[in-house]
Structure 1
Amino acid sequence: MSADQDFPTPILTAEPQSSVFTGDSVTLRCELIQSHNGWEFLWTKHSHSESTETATTIINSVKVSDGGEYKCRARRGRYYTERPKPKVTIKPAQHVFRGDTVTLRCDINGKGVTSWSYSWYKEGSTSVFSDRQEHTLSFVTESDAGKYTCYGSETEGSRWSQKSDKVTLTVLERPKPKVTIKPDQHVFRGDTVTLRCDLNGEGVTNWSYSWYKEGLTSVFSDRQEHTLSSVTKSNAGKYTCKGSETGGSRWSQMSDAVTLTVSDPRAVLSVSPHMWLTEGDPVTLICEVYNFSTGWTFSWFTLTVSAENSRHYNPLSDSSRGAGGNYTVSSAALNHTGVYSCRAEREKPAYKTQFSNTQLLWVTGVSPPVSLIVSPSRTQHFTSVSLSLICEDQSNSTGWRVRRYTDGGRLEDCSSLHRGSQTGSTCTISSTITSHTGVYWCESESGEKHHPVNITVHSGVILESPVHPVTEGDHLILHCLYQHTTSPNLRADFYKDGSLIQNQTTEMSITTVSKSHEGFYYCKHPERGESPKSWISVRASTDSRSDGLKPITTGVTAGLTVSVLIIVFLILLWRYRKNKGGRSQSPSTVSQQQNNSQTSDQNQSGTAHIYDSGGAAVNKDISTDSVSESTELTYAEIELKSTKKKKKKKENKGAGSSDVTHAQSQTHSNRAQEFTSLHIAFWVVTAMF
């Protein structure tokens, strides 16, 4: 018999077929449906080892121990007759997704058996759950996963099959696709984008795809990747996809929706570090294209607004200097004050943006000719209060008015504001509203602009901060205010540039302001809310700007003062010694010199002149020196008092006093004056040192 021929199926019979008693005789026959010669038969009892017998086995005088199950099979050469073994199949596949429907099928190829009954088992359970050849599981879950077997028995007969091999059913979570959009979900009109649907479904080797767009009911693509060329705003929207098994019945979940945004390229202008500048400060204008910043070149403009609020964009003469997106001014000058804008342009695909938002740059001189006085004196103000702004001119000239620049890029006079009026150089707003927020400045009839102030009107918490720049070394105090409480001062947290610097305090105090304190400040109350941000600018003090000259000036002044005092001291000492030398002679000699020598009279009158007329003689003798007036007068007044006292004592002695007595008195008086002169001179010199 060739290997591909069907094996004959043995049929086992017993005579008699009914129960027998001990001692009876029983005949067992193993017959082949198709009779062939050369077969030998193998008999098995209770699954014990096989024994070779003839086709007929006779058990004479049976015993109780002979009872049991007998089996037979035929063998010829290497070919055996086998009990048929069922085969289990699972459709559509052994790996299915939760919610799918699967069918279990038991196939038995048993010759000679026209009808089978089936028994299904699931591993872990001893009971039969189905007696059909096919069993269907609808909307499977993870609990349906496991190993399944079956076997068959002959309907209305005694034959049965072997048990099938176990077949495993795996229930998986239904896969969910992921949609990606390249190069980005935010694209510009005219760009090309690619939609891609990715699926990771175990057991599925080939997927078909379906693409959906929100608002459409039909599938617009069945590819894994779908390309949209030269997109327009009509391509914007939410996209989803799902997959189905190619040639199968399984499908995925629907992906999450991904939104494609199609917009016109937009240039955005910003300023670093800030728009408030002092002459000489560096500043950079930064132009960027929203969400897509490669392949662009940039142009720069200043904006002028006519009285009718029509805009005019004037290109900068050196606009190409900012082609890379940054336009830097290393040292700002007054003529850099203005409103700036930019636009971007690219070649592929060709596109030119609209003009960007506007940014104000304001450069202030060190000593502006006019000041803008704000009352109340702070940058942030409540709504529904009065506000006045006054242009105070240092030269008392007229013709100044208050103007405003709004966040929307409009230039306005005070009189055009809602509830605003201009009287002379004073702008009055009777009741503030949030739209009064803006930059205010003083402008002359000739177009000069000075002293910009950033005014914010807010309905909640505000920060009480100074209107004008703070000078280095000053004491700065900030308060957090709320309009609708008995006491406007709040206990709040204070922030600088987004970082907490003081918490839960009624005021923030900086004792000595320095340039490092410059930045954006705001306050925050846990219940009332947060104030707007205010920029606090710090300017250098006059002393710090002239520090290089101060030590030299001080040194020169001190040196000159000391030199003058020494000269004065030497002159007085010389005159004292000269007078003393004259008086130490005999009375006759002194009298003779007084009568006969005009020079001696001049010397005497010169000495009296020093004491009586203050610093006149000193100025006469050292007129080329820079003598401190207060030092000269102090010295002269003390000497004058001392001199008068001596004269008074001299008059009290009477006219009859001898010349010797007069000379001695004069000597003592001069010695007293000498001590006073030396004491005062050295005291002044020591103090100056």
Structure 2
Amino acid sequence: MGHTLLCVLGLFLLNTRLQCCHAEDALTLKTNWSTSYTGETVTLACDKSDGQDTDWSYTFTRNNNKLDFCKTKKSSCSFKLMKNDTGQYQCSVFQTKTHSTNQSNIVSLTVLDNPKPALNVSRSWLSPGASVTLNCSVTDSAAGWRFYWYKAVANLSINSNYSYELLPGKSNGTENNTYVVNGQTHTAGYVCRAGRGNPVHYSWYSKPKFVWSGDSHAPSVKVSPDRVQHFSSEPVSLSCEGNQWRVVRFTKAGHLSNCSDWGRNNGSTWTITNLTNKTAVYWCEFASGQFSNAVNITLQSDIILVSPVHPVTEGDSVHLSCKVKNGSLSSNVSFYRNNTFQKYTRAELRISAVSKSDEGFYMCRDAEKKSAQSWLSVKSAASPENMKRPCTLLLIIGLVCGIVVFILLLLFCYCMKSKNSSFARTTLFQRTNQGFAPDQVVNLNETQPQLPSSHLHDQSGDVTYSLIHLKDIRKTENSSAAEETVYSEVKLDKAPGP
């Protein structure tokens, strides 16, 4: 009896120990990344340690507060993250038959604001046809992001804003965070964003980055006075082609704004009134979404370099001069290109026939002051598009001429062959009519033995007949005309007897 009681007591204690000390239920955060962002979807999965098919209910908590939106009969809970979802997560499993509750491990989750990528461009000013490399970077760069690339399209209905169009063939994004735009010729704006997961969660768009072109073949922004540098106290007017447009300014500090923020409308032009920004790039944006070429405008207080605002063409004459705000220059002026001295003169720096080698940053200075630097841009006399046309035209002309010459050569060879054949027949007939006796002329209609290149000797030995076959090359294969045979008479003097 005692042994029986001891066995029952042992089994009870063992069962109690197993119930209170079973393996802990596990809470799993189903995400592939250590950092999550607002707007992303995450899943909390509570994996019970006991695999028996019994009734269970689940409770999910964050920082010990119950998540009411998670259903109690499901072992997982999915939801979109907000910034206040950062915290400590845990699940509790309640077994209805045994009325026991088990707690899972604790999972920490950090939620950050949705990232905004930074876009950089390899160059700001374009030469025609140049390639531009875009680089899109996200703070958490190793977290499974793909990158999406867009072109900015002007939208005049939105103040200083744009709509975005995916660049061709990039609807699925790229694993690489760089993208090369080839053959860029006109002013353009670009943005990027990142995405990850399925369905894709996108970051914010980057700030637009611009690459500018001074190419005059594009719609042009007009500046009055027509120069790069201006005195800060004088009015500077800008205008664009067409009816619906706006002028946009991008400052050296990286601030983008349109004309309503810094200018005054004077009918068909805008005059700069906010002169706090000394240097900025200006261009036109049209209702069609197109951008014009761009110009630099620099505001100075005392002395300026007078230089053309638009690119000049190779071979043109260019005059650069120095101007002071009040009065006239007190002394001769030094001109510099890329900080290298060019000329010391009272008048101006003249380049009679400008070339690409004259491109650079120019400045002037007198005895006391110096101007800002301005870039002198030189464009080719023939644009790349126009240079392609003569090459194509010459190729076509060359092909046509080659075909014509080939046909003429064929005709010439045919005529020469026909002429030689006719000449041979005519000569032989003439010799026959003139040198043969009537009884020595062979009837051409009679059938002749087919003995080409043979020689027939008569019994007397005084005359040798040579048999020649003449064929008319103009005859067809089905022609039944007889071949022409001509015997030519050759007189031989007998050798003196012995």
Bigger Cα Rg? 1
TM, length-normalised to structure 1: 0.32
TM, length-normalised to structure 2: 0.42
